[in-house]
A and B are shown apart, each in its own frame.
Chain A
Amino acid sequence: EAQVTQNPRYLITVTGKKLTVTCSQNMNHEYMSWYRQDPGLGLRQIYYSMNVEVTDKGDVPEGYKVSRKEKRNFPLILESPSPNQTSLYFCASSLSGRGGSPLHFGNGTRLTVT
């Protein structure tokens, strides 16, 4: 089944403890991206990647890192999480970065930083 898989679905951690949220897609998509969703703020893009080894900042990149060493995986790294990074995170992919490509989203990761 074609899908975007995020892990874990739920994560509770403490301030400053490095964590990684994984994202994997099995559709051979070139484009991948990360979003956070907060009440009243909609979905905001954190980082995106047009292809392997190519990443760019979105609207809210501060406090996050990403890497794209292989096509299928696009992990989101929080080197030193803080409470203001408590949020619902979504990974998405599309065949290309071009406008006609629909995005496919994962089911989300709910992160709580205490």
Chain B
Amino acid sequence: DAKTTQPNSMESNEEEPVHLPCNHSTISGTDYIHWYRQLPSQGPEYVIHGLTSNVNNRMASLAIAEDRKSSTLILHRATLRDAAVYYCILRDWGNNAGNMLTFGGGTRLMVKP
């Protein structure tokens, strides 16, 4: 299974943009890139996903490198409620891919007022 690598922690100031990186150098052509975040005492929450093109939704933007070996989750204006652990995972498109999903340690985002 392709794995992802993320920094352990990052800090940001409130109302500033945040760029959370993820490396996935062994990504396969059929892997989707997913991002989730986990607030304290809650289950992980879906943020965004993409395959090749950059994606935007109401929560964030996802920038995918041209070679797909890395991606960046962009929070356009961080708020205190964005303080969480952010996970980047790969999910195969294939119908019978085994579908084991591996969440690494994620990036703990701290937002300073």
Contacts and interface: CB of A to CB of B under 8 A. Distances in A.
Interface of A: 4, 31, 33, 35, 40-45, 48, 50, 56, 58-59, 90, 92, 96-108
A59 B95 CA distance: 19
B43 A44 contact: no
B42 A50 contact: no
A50 B49 CA distance: 20
B32 A99 contact: yes
Interface residues of B, number: 30
Contacts of B30: 99
Contact of A99 (B44, B93, B100): B93
Given A99-B93, A108-B42, 18 more contacts: A44-B103, A45-B100, A48-B99, A48-B101, A56-B100, A58-B101, A97-B95, A97-B97, A97-B99, A98-B95, A99-B32, A100-B49, A100-B51, A101-B91, A102-B46, A104-B46, A105-B43, A105-B45
Given A99-B91, A99-B93, A42 B104 contact: yes
Contacts of B98: 56
Contact of A35 (B90, B92, B93, B103): B103
A90 B43 contact: yes
A107 B46 CA distance: 13
A106 B45 CA distance: 9
B100 A59 contact: yes
The 10 lowest CB-CB distance pairs between A and B, nearest first, are A105-B43, A99-B32, A43-B103, A99-B93, A102-B46, A99-B91, A42-B105, A97-B99, A105-B44, A42-B103
Contacts of B93: 98-100
B34 A102 contact: yes
A107 B42 contact: yes
B82 interface: no
